[in-house]
Chain A
Amino acid sequence: MILTYSFAQQYTGGETEIELPGRTVRQLIRGLEARYPAIAGQLEGDIAVVIDGVIHQNAWLEDVGEVSEVAFIPPIGGGGAH
């Protein structure tokens, strides 16, 4: 599980890469919250999740593989292309 540098500075004492068990994004978040209580609620709002290189938005219940890289990044707004 991967957090951005500034997020890690605030909530995990600077740890950006954390190994956690879990089969869904929500289980990973729960695990992280158990380890770092200050993080509670911070990963549920305005955030995107990248699972093995694939961007997911609002993907709370998304499945995570046995050995997956899950990164939480700032949201990517609806741009607008036309």
Chain B
Amino acid sequence: MSAQRYKWVGTRQNRPDGADKVTGRARFAADFNLPGELVGKVLRSPHAHANIRSIDTTAAARLPGVKAIVTGADFPEQPDQLLPAGEMQVNLRDVTRNIMAKEKALYEGHAVAAVAATTAAVAAEALSLIKVDYEILPHVIDVREAMKDNAPVLHAHMRTEGVKPAPDKPSNIAKRLEFAKGDADAGFAQAEVVIEREFTTEPVHQGYIEPHAALASASEDGQVQLWTTTQGHFQVRGFCCRLLDLETAQLRVTPSEIGGGFGGKTVVYLEPLAIRLSQRAGRPVKMVMSREEVMRASGPTSGGHVKVKLGARKDGSIVAADVTVALQAGAFAGSPVGPSCMCSLACYDIDNIRVVGFDVVSNRPKVAAYRAPGAPISAWAVESVVDMLAQELGIDPIDLRLKNAAKQGTKTHYGASFGVIGLVETLEAAKNSPHYRAPVKPGHARGVAAGFWFNVGADSSAAAQVGEDGTVTIISGNPDIGGSRASLALMAAEELGIDYNKVRPIVADTASIGFNFVTGGSRVTFATGLAVINATRDAISQLKARAAKIWEVDVEGVVWEEGEARPSSTNVGKFEPLSLAKLAASASRTGGPINGHAQLNAQGAGPGFGVHIVDLKVDMDTGIVTIDRYTAVQDVGTAIHPSYVEGQLQGGAVQGIGWALNEEYIYDKQGRLQNPGFLDYRMPVASDLPMIETVLVEVPNPTHPYGVRGVGEVPIIPPMAAIGSAIARATGVRMLDLPMSPPRLSAAIDAATPAMAAE
């Protein structure tokens, strides 16, 4: 559809950074080096919860080759309030304690000191010479345990927000949220079928293959340069400036190529440490996390406990819903419980809803965003119960969702009403997909689930610089994680009417382009795309003005078509069209360089909906699940570069498959992570999977010139419930806890069939 409407948008061009990325030339964070650089390493707490009585670094400091040591005392105290850092709201008191513990170590792996030395071996030896006097405290890992009155308290100052009267006792419950629509109790009174279940999920890591890494170089005059792998170098600048009392103009952050982020690279870990060490040592400092450090100290997303009660009439109309979501925030407040609550029922038009959420701290690493933060956790529970309703009522699971689907004008339980959305179209596309129309193979079962994500817009800046030969450089400030250079260049080429290969997109550092919010929330193609379109249009209006000058006509008499300025009608006069190349060549004589700029806070990111279908079989003896066929259907607005849109759907679906079947954090009794590596933290590999089929539904977003909706978040939401529902239909056992790994599933099957287990 889009391929016919547009020349470039909707086509599958080679990505501009392709050659660099297939030859090893692309530089990721650990690939940067500077002359004279030191190696920085972090000492981490072996305890899940401990007071730090003292830290003695004297022996380490005496070791030859050690150039600087920092501890929590080297980072200034920060106010206990939400403040903007970059454009994010964060509690800096917590952030400074997360990068480096002060009075307490709050999870195993919590940084307590860092060293810069001439070699990695010297740095490692220095860490072993630092003496930390810990007073070990009782710890709590599980979210429900942490909510109990007698649980070990992580933060003595924490009082539960959002309850009346305000509590006077400390608690691990940072916040209580409640959303309501209609009257849930009255709704359940009308229901003919009520199903209620409790579900859990384990924390899962974003699992980016590139570990965190940073290289900092501080000068004696106070200026600092930083190279790092991040989803938002402007956020890194904001955080570091706050945490280190730097002025933003003094800190220049250059993003490396980023080896995956999925939300996990929207915060800082190593960056402030590397800068402080470099300031102390007077030399550049490079820090790279090991995989084990990544697992113990960064990310993950929350584990959760979700209670769902749905009430329906026999005709399938859902009349009431009651959902309670408790999410682990990790060691500091701030889980994605808000979005989790809001997304939980967003696919449905239900009159009577109550949703309650709790944000709970425990002795685990502070959670970071992970693809549609919070939504997969509540959707796993809600979508599973919707499937149970479908089974109970004998209704096709897609038909049941169609009957209750949210549409334009549907008022959600969080107050907002939907604009133009494509859930019904997506459900219908799923129903008509080759996969759903094909019969289920013998011995297999099919599951279906839906998902919703808001998508976000926010701040973006971009520039379009016209070179003297008429080629155009598009400058933006969002790290390219999944092909966004290509989608930005496609939109710019479309606007300019020139060949895609005449447009070069680059990702600029914090000093070379205006502010950009993080690459995340599925915003770049939408929001930064809008900035690129506007910057390009700014350049075009300058080009038209130059043509008007040359022709000595009013600028209104000039139009821009197919890459050249043309008179708008014969009334204007008879002029040979002026191509971009011609206008660029004469730019100096007609008024100087031609550069377009745009900056905006993009609003109106269109919500996205997805429906996934899975066919699988279960080995009843071992509990091993084999996925035979998988299809992701999604309303993508307009697919600017269909291959990378499909890639988002496929990658998100597979992350969801890992979440569903294998991935989990395993702790011992001391609160120490037992599986901090890829061998035991089992992410999907190629041989675990079939092809991931995709169906791109295009319901254009009316607030974007090309109808773009964010696409990256939605596909991680439906897989867990789709797989759980297929397993339920295959085995008769409805799994309530993730992951549905072979040991857990075989145990559940055995428990449900005691006679077989006894054999």
Chain A interface main SS type: loop
Chain B interface main SS type: loop
Q: Does B194 sit within 8 A of A, measured CB to CB? A: no
A residues near B648, Cβ cutoff 8 Å? 81-82
* Pick from A10, A53, A76: contact of B456, CB under 8 Å: A76
In contact, A71 and B162 (Cβ under 8 angstroms): no
In whole angstroms, what is the CA distance A77 to B342 when docked? 13
Q: Does A27 sit within 8 A of B, measured CB to CB? A: no
Q: Does B370 sit within 8 A of A, measured CB to CB? A: yes
In whole angstroms, what is the CA distance A82 to B713 when docked? 9
- List residues 259-276 of chain B with CB under 8 A from any CB of chain A: 260-266
Give A40-62 as 1s and 0s: 1 = Cβ < 8 Å from B's Cβ atoms. Answer: 00000110001011111111001
In whole angstroms, what is the CA distance A69 to B418 when docked? 11
What size tier do the contact residues of chain A reach? Answer: 20 to 34
* Pick from A2, A58, A77: contact of B339, CB under 8 Å: A77
B residues near A75, Cβ cutoff 8 Å? 89, 338
In contact, B520 and A78 (Cβ under 8 angstroms): yes
What size tier do the contact residues of chain B reach? Answer: 35 or more
In contact, B370 and A4 (Cβ under 8 angstroms): no
* Pick from A59, A69, A73, A79: contact of B369, CB under 8 Å: A79
Q: Does B522 sit within 8 A of A, measured CB to CB? A: yes
In contact, B178 and A6 (Cβ under 8 angstroms): yes
- List residues 1-35 of chain A with CB under 8 A from any CB of chain B: 2-6, 9-10, 16
In whole angstroms, what is the CA distance A5 to B179 when docked? 5
Given known contacts A55-B457, A57-B458, A79-B713, A69 and B416 CB-to-CB distance under 8 angstroms: yes
Among B178, B369, B603, which residue has the most Cβ atoms of chain A within 10 A? B603
A residues near B710, Cβ cutoff 8 Å? 81
A residues near B458, Cβ cutoff 8 Å? 57-58, 78
B residues near A3, Cβ cutoff 8 Å? 415
In whole angstroms, what is the CA distance A5 to B413 when docked? 9
In contact, B87 and A55 (Cβ under 8 angstroms): no
Q: Does A37 sit within 8 A of B, measured CB to CB? A: no
B residues near A2, Cβ cutoff 8 Å? 415-416
In contact, B519 and A82 (Cβ under 8 angstroms): yes
Q: Does B395 sit within 8 A of A, measured CB to CB? A: no
In contact, A72 and B339 (Cβ under 8 angstroms): no
Given known contacts A45-B89, A53-B418, A79 and B457 CB-to-CB distance under 8 angstroms: no
Given known contacts A6-B176, A54-B703, A78 and B417 CB-to-CB distance under 8 angstroms: no
In whole angstroms, what is the CA distance A46 to B459 when docked? 16
In whole angstroms, what is the CA distance A62 to B604 when docked? 12
Give B513-549 as 1s and 0s: 1 = Cβ < 8 Å from A's Cβ atoms. Answer: 0000111111100000000000000000000000000
Rounded to whole Å, the gap between the CB of B207 and the closest CB of chain A is 12
A residues near B373, Cβ cutoff 8 Å? 77, 79
In whole angstroms, what is the CA distance A76 to B713 when docked? 12
Rounded to whole Å, the gap between the CB of B397 and the closest CB of chain A is 26
In contact, B261 and A80 (Cβ under 8 angstroms): yes
* Pick from A4, A45, A46, A53: contact of B414, CB under 8 Å: A4
Q: Does A74 sit within 8 A of B, measured CB to CB? A: yes
In contact, B261 and A82 (Cβ under 8 angstroms): yes
In whole angstroms, what is the CA distance A71 to B415 when docked? 6
Q: Does B652 sit within 8 A of A, measured CB to CB? A: yes
B residues near A81, Cβ cutoff 8 Å? 262-263, 371, 481-482, 520-522, 648, 652, 710-713
Given known contacts A46-B82, A80-B370, A73 and B604 CB-to-CB distance under 8 angstroms: no
A residues near B260, Cβ cutoff 8 Å? 82
In whole angstroms, what is the CA distance A16 to B413 when docked? 11
Residue of A nearest to B711 (CB): A81
In whole angstroms, what is the CA distance A57 to B607 when docked? 14
A residues near B523, Cβ cutoff 8 Å? 78
A residues near B417, Cβ cutoff 8 Å? 50, 52-53, 69
* Pick from A55, A69, A73, A79: contact of B371, CB under 8 Å: A79
* Pick from B88, B176, B180: contact of A16, CB under 8 Å: B180
Q: Does B304 sit within 8 A of A, measured CB to CB? A: no
In contact, B179 and A57 (Cβ under 8 angstroms): no
B residues near A80, Cβ cutoff 8 Å? 206, 231, 261-266, 369-371, 481, 518-521, 712
Q: Does B377 sit within 8 A of A, measured CB to CB? A: no
Given known contacts A4-B414, A52-B419, A57-B601, A78 and B521 CB-to-CB distance under 8 angstroms: yes
B residues near A72, Cβ cutoff 8 Å? 415
* Pick from B89, B338, B453, B482: contact of A79, CB under 8 Å: B453
Rounded to whole Å, the gap between the CB of A31 and the closest CB of chain B is 17
Given known contacts A6-B177, A59-B601, A81-B520, A74 and B652 CB-to-CB distance under 8 angstroms: no
Q: Does B25 sit within 8 A of A, measured CB to CB? A: no
In contact, A55 and B605 (Cβ under 8 angstroms): yes
- List residues 69-128 of chain B with CB under 8 A from any CB of chain A: 82, 87-89
Give B231-251 as 1s and 0s: 1 = Cβ < 8 Å from A's Cβ atoms. Answer: 110000000000000000000
In whole angstroms, what is the CA distance A58 to B527 when docked? 14
Rounded to whole Å, the gap between the CB of A60 and the closest CB of chain B is 10
Give B435-458 as 1s and 0s: 1 = Cβ < 8 Å from A's Cβ atoms. Answer: 000000000000000000111111
Q: Does B722 sit within 8 A of A, measured CB to CB? A: no
Write the residues of chain B forming the contact surface with A, with a CB cutoff of 8 angstroms: 82, 87-89, 162, 164, 176-180, 206, 231-232, 260-266, 336, 338-339, 341-342, 369-373, 408-409, 414-419, 453-459, 481-482, 517-523, 601, 603-605, 607, 648, 651-652, 703, 710-713
Kindly list 19 other residue pairs between chains A and B, CB separation below 8 angstroms, not including A50-B416, A54-B703, A78-B520: A16-B415, A53-B408, A55-B603, A57-B603, A58-B459, A73-B338, A74-B338, A74-B342, A77-B336, A77-B339, A78-B266, A78-B456, A78-B523, A79-B713, A80-B264, A80-B481, A80-B518, A80-B712, A81-B520
What would 10 A/B residue contacts be, using CB atoms closer than 8 Å? A2-B415, A4-B415, A16-B180, A50-B415, A54-B419, A62-B603, A73-B414, A80-B265, A80-B481, A82-B260
Write the residues of chain A forming the contact surface with B, with a CB cutoff of 8 angstroms: 2-6, 9-10, 16, 45-46, 50, 52-59, 62, 69, 71-82
